[in-house]
Chain A
Amino acid sequence: DSWGMLACLCTVLWHLPAVPALNRTGDPGPGPSIQKTYDLTRYLEHQLRSLAGTYLNYLGPPFNEPDFNPPRLGAETLPRATVDLEVWRSLNDRLRLTQNYEAYSHLLCYLRGLNRQAATAELRRSLAHFCTSLQGLLGSIAGVMAALGYPLPQPLPGTEPTWTPGPAHSDFLQKMDDFWLLKELQTWLWRSAKDFNRLKKKMQPPAAAVTLHLGAHGF
């Protein structure tokens, strides 16, 4: 037990420098955290590309066909990433961050449902890893919002998304939902990267601005 206590103490000491409250040597502002969030978004985009390929193969045709682009009839509960350009431009930073935060909260929940259904262990591992990364992105966005002094959006009671398995959904619609979930995630990550890049430029002095070329990647 004494060894356990010692190990615990060592762990705490090891992590002390990581605690922000104890590590305030100077306020660097929201810049670094925005950069980190942006980097994480790009990493998730890359990670999702391989995960989506595997998962859609797992669903079978037509979901893994490159030109499969069905009209979106189901999957109404998923937060849509597509938004009119004018509307998007009219959004302020806070609104954008809030939308991002809410979207990933929902998407993460649905992703966990996906993980439960996956039959192969390898796919489950990949999904779990992606969920962890997405959870990190959510925390990162929360960090940026806190740094900018924005409050976190509070979930309305009763509107919390839940994953409900069962016969209510047909298996085909379930697969379709999975397809849309992955597609929405892709679009959200692309949009977020753009949002964070814009925010980053805004927060940085003009001399240090870095132009990044972003491109939309389809499935």
Chain B
Amino acid sequence: MALFVVFQTTFFLTLLSLRTYQSEVLAERLPLTPVSLKVSTNSIHQSLHLQWTVHNLPYHQELKMVFQIQISRIETSNVVWVGNYSTTVKWNQVLHWSWESELPLECATHFVRIKSVMDDASFPEPNFWSNWSSWEEVSVQDSLEKGILFVFPKDKLVEEGSNVTICYVSRNIQNNVSCYLEGKQIHGEQLDPHVTAFNLNSVPFIRNRGTNIYCEASQGNVSKGIEGIVLFVSKVLEEPKDFSCETQDFKTLHCTWDPGTDTALGWSKQPSQSYTLFESFSGEKKLCTHKNWCNWQITQDSQETYNFTLIAENYLRKRSVNILFNLTHRVYLMNPFNVDFENVNATNAIMTWKVHSMRNDFTCLCQIELHGEGKMMQYDVSIKVNGEYFLSELEPATEYMARVRCADASHFWKWSEWSGQNFTTLEAAPSEAPDVWRSVNSEPGNHTVTLFWKPLSKLHANGKILFYNVVVENLDKPSRSELRSIPAPANSTKLILDRCSYQICVTANNSVGASPASIIVISADPENKEVEEERIAGTDGGFSLSWKPQPGDVIGYVVDWCDHPQDVLQWKNVGPNTTSTVISTDAFRPGVRYDFRIYGLSTKRIACLLEKKTGYSQELAPSDNPHVLVDMLTSHSFTLSWKDYSTESQPGFIQGYHVYLKSKARQCHPRFQKAVLSDGSECCKYKIDNPEEKALIVDNLKPESSYEIFVTPFTSAGEGPNATFTKVTTPDEHSSMLIHILLPMVFCVLLIMIVCYLKSQWIKETCYPDIPDPYKSSILSLIKFKENPHLTIMNVSDCIPDAIEVVSKPEGTKIQILGTRKSLTETELTKPNYLYLLPTEKNHSGPGPCICFENFTYNQAASDSGFCGHVPVSPKAPPSMLGLMTSPENVLKALEKNYMNSLGEVPAGETSLNYVSQLASPMSGDKDSLPTNPVEPPYCSEYKMQMAVPLRLALPRPTENSSLSSITLLDPGEHYR
């Protein structure tokens, strides 16, 4: 074993020494070491450019060699790249090789060395690597201009998504350098104290003006400088899409494609990508001026097959697409021309057109599209040059649009553009009878028939309807038919027919002819058939109606109704075997009552009313409340009535009424139930289920209580609107009785007052005359009571005056009327004013023995004063002053005094009582006598009337009263004269 180890070691040592020897021999024989290595830089491309030569190459001999290149950064030991470069080397050849650095060359010193090895078959194995060349140092930093900060690479152009390394070189390590990408600070790796590198991975495209990256050197807060670069990021060039070529005339090929994104950049950094068309068979190339199409001139008629390559190119990338085609398979025909229509009638037309002739025996496939009435029909036809197609089954009086396009029939590539034209077919007679219905109003002696018809649809009108013909024919009497022509677009007419059966035919007419007639018969019998109206409930979709089939043969049914609020008669025809239908229209409004009448049409075309239905599409709550009257109000009840409330004109079927009653009592009255109102208050509610019951007696009420009532109707949709309650107060129980008594009493009093007023004069005279009747005086009874049976009262009429003397004291005319036998009353009536009765004595200055009436209303004291009751009045005194004596106090005093005197004995000496008539006073009641200009009465012009008095009492002494019976009459008129 030890022997084997020794042997093995010896063998390896021998082999090693032999190998070393061999290489030395070869190197000596062929010292192909790369020499003269020079390294230059390209800052724009960030590349190192190497050039070297290989010495000792055999003359005029080419050898294949492999060069290994090592590149270190910052220091030689920091190898960043090793690679081989194989090439054929000639004698004395200068070799070139480039290496692109991801780190800007300005940011670090690079070192390069190279070695080589022979890799040529002419030299037998083994080949050995040469020695390394010496390290070649490359430093660009030294060549930088003045400045404190540099950022690299300058204005680099990269594709979106690339990785980019940038770096800055700061001359002064004292400076603090911050770098920003689009405003955001970025952090990098420090390569040496002056240099920091930043790796930007997958850079995005931000804008075509480039991405700004800048670094700012600062000391403290002081900016020392800003330096930056613009990194131009291009979008990735896309492959052109949908590349195709075609010809319309075999002279030009029109090629189109979708260019995709434009990769142009600002500051002329990169223009838009260019497009080049290359045809491989002809070897021709064309630079396209447009970015999405290019025209290629066909120069050789013989060339049928083309192989096109479209190359898109920008500074960073090249993309290409390829198509190979036969020219005849890419024929895109020009659109047809001379499109026209011949022999156009109501239903047919012939369409003609032409296509551009391409070559002999060229067949086209053409497609025709016919648009009309919202429909489209398509037809295909093969033609040569002139196309023709028969269009049939057209609608009359309809505008059509026909268009045609063509393609190569043998090798379909694509349709040409459309060429089209409009045409209108001619009119034809209307094809269907108009839908006619009627409404009949029977009046005495005739029917008023209103005919309605629906305009024909465009499909059936076959043109413009000009007028409607209405022919009325009497079926009962042979007579001439009456024709009425009603111009369109009228849709109704009114006929007044007598009590006969009539057949009415209606036709619609256009310029070509008349439609089939629509026939309706009006029977002689008026439509007074009583049909009960049935209520139906509508839905949102309409009304569902059903009816009993009419006995006998019917040709159909008609349902008619009126649309509100337009009041337009609508109708619907239903087949004879159908007894139900749904009337649905958008015209139905909620809260509107619709009346439907269902008619059966007999074989004689006479309509017979079968049923009536009424209903609402949607019932609504009543819109108003009834006006409620409260009457028959007693202390315990009252009656509510709302007779005027119409249940028909409501937005729903009135089902009844709710009567709400509010009272202070907590308990509801019998028949009422408790209810809560919308405002939360409680009340009592009474429900009336009969809509025609429009009155309610509310009883069991308390007297002198206040109640509030509210009546509202209700439909299936709810109650009427909220409104205010009406207040009712029950009266007191006795108040009615009082009224029964008080009223007649008041009436009686009034009656008495009226009578009194009317008979006031009589009453005055009777009850309180101006001159009291002594007989009636109460004094009389008193006197009688005083046991003085001899006392009598003298009657005026008993006195017979002897003479009346009129005295005018200062100056006056004395009229002596002798023998005048006038009663005092008469005298007073004729001469009421200032009439004084005086004794006939000449000397009347002293108080004479006068006999006066015993009248207690006159003041005796006044007579004592010698003025005989006359009060001298100053001429200037106001008239009211004249009433001094008649003032109530004075009268009362006098009354008292006289009364007292009369109770005692009347002394004989005091017989000179003067009588002064009350009429003498202006206040006596005769207001007419009130002097507006009071005259000065003559002093003591007195009037004394001597009355017959009992002799014992008032017998005058003859010496004093010789002329007792004389009357002095003072005529005021004379007096003033």
Binding site for B on A (CB under 8 A): 58-63, 65, 70-71, 73, 117, 119, 165, 170-172, 174-176
Contact = CB atoms under 8 A, between A and B. Distances in A.
A60 B211 contact: yes
25 contacts: A59-B212, A60-B182, A60-B206, A60-B212, A62-B183, A62-B212, A65-B183, A70-B226, A71-B223, A71-B224, A73-B225, A117-B266, A117-B267, A117-B268, A119-B266, A165-B268, A170-B155, A170-B230, A171-B210, A171-B229, A171-B232, A171-B269, A172-B154, A172-B212, A174-B267
B754 to A, nearest CB: 101
A70 B210 CA distance: 20
B64 interface: no
Given A62-B180, A172-B230, 9 more contacts: A58-B209, A71-B225, A117-B267, A117-B268, A119-B209, A171-B210, A171-B232, A171-B267, A172-B228
A171 B155 contact: yes
B595 interface: no
Interface in B152-208: 154-155, 180, 182-183, 206-208
A117 B230 CA distance: 15
A31 to B, nearest CB: 45
A60 B214 CA distance: 12
Interface in B252-308: 266-269
Contacts of A172: 151, 154-155, 212, 214, 227-230
Contacts of B268: 117, 165
Which 3 interchain pairs have the tightest Cβ spacing? A171-B230, A172-B228, A70-B226
B230 A175 contact: yes
Nearest to A62: B183
Nearest to A117: B267
Contacts of A62: 180, 183, 212, 214
Most chain A beta-carbon contacts within 10 A, residue among B151, B182, B211, B228: B228
Contacts of A175: 212, 230
A55 to B, nearest CB: 11
Contacts of B208: 119
Nearest to B217: A71
Nearest to A118: B266
Interface in B216-239: 216, 223-230, 232
Contacts of B211: 60
Interface string B129-170: 000000000000000000000010011000000000000000
B223 A70 contact: yes
A119 B264 CA distance: 10
Given A73-B226, A170-B155, A61 B212 contact: yes
A70 B155 CA distance: 20
Interface residues of B, number: 28
Contacts of B226: 70-71, 73, 176
Nearest to A170: B154
B854 to A, nearest CB: 122
A49 B159 CA distance: 35
Contacts of B214: 62, 172
Given A171-B269, A172-B212, A60 B223 contact: no
Nearest to B184: A61
A200 B225 CA distance: 41
A75 to B, nearest CB: 12
Interface in B800-833: none
Nearest to B267: A171
B148 to A, nearest CB: 9
Nearest to B228: A172
Contact of B229 (A60, A165, A170): A170
Contacts of A63: 212
Nearest to A172: B228
Contact of B183 (A61, A73, A171, A174): A61
B769 to A, nearest CB: 112
A71 B175 CA distance: 15
Interface string B16-33: 000000000000000000
A194 to B, nearest CB: 29
A34 B456 CA distance: 84
Contacts of B232: 171
A17 B207 CA distance: 51
A166 to B, nearest CB: 10
Contacts of B207: 60
A57 B209 CA distance: 10
B933 to A, nearest CB: 94
Contacts of A174: 267
Contacts of A119: 208-209, 266-267
Contacts of B229: 170-172
A219 B32 CA distance: 67
B889 to A, nearest CB: 102
Contact of A61 (B151, B182, B225): B182
A113 to B, nearest CB: 12
Contacts of B155: 170-172
A42 B927 CA distance: 109
Most chain B beta-carbon contacts within 10 A, residue among A65, A119, A165: A119
Nearest to A61: B183
A74 B155 CA distance: 17
Most chain A beta-carbon contacts within 10 A, residue among B180, B232, B266: B266
A172 B266 CA distance: 13
Contacts of B225: 71, 73
Contacts of B224: 71
A165 B162 CA distance: 28
Contact of B209 (A60, A65, A165, A176): A60
Contacts of A117: 266-268
A73 B226 CA distance: 8
Contacts of B210: 60, 171
A123 to B, nearest CB: 11
Contacts of A171: 154-155, 210, 229-230, 232, 267, 269
Most chain B beta-carbon contacts within 10 A, residue among A60, A70, A117: A60
A119 B268 CA distance: 9
Contacts of B266: 117, 119
A73 B224 CA distance: 9
Interface in B80-128: none
A147 to B, nearest CB: 43
Contact of A59 (B183, B209, B223): B209
Nearest to B181: A61
A165 B225 CA distance: 24
Contacts of B180: 62
A70 B222 CA distance: 11
Nearest to A165: B268
Nearest to B264: A119
B703 to A, nearest CB: 91
A73 B155 CA distance: 19
A60 B205 CA distance: 13
Contacts of B228: 172, 176
A171 to B, nearest CB: 4
A61 B212 CA distance: 7
Nearest to A59: B209
A158 B551 CA distance: 121
Contacts of B151: 172
Interface in B903-940: none
Contacts of A61: 182-183, 212
Most chain A beta-carbon contacts within 10 A, residue among B155, B209, B211, B269: B209
B678 to A, nearest CB: 64
B695 to A, nearest CB: 85
Contacts of B223: 70-71
Nearest to A120: B266
A125 B230 CA distance: 25
Nearest to B183: A61
B67 to A, nearest CB: 33
Contacts of B216: 70
A73 B146 CA distance: 12
Contacts of A70: 216, 223, 226
Nearest to A63: B212
Nearest to B222: A71
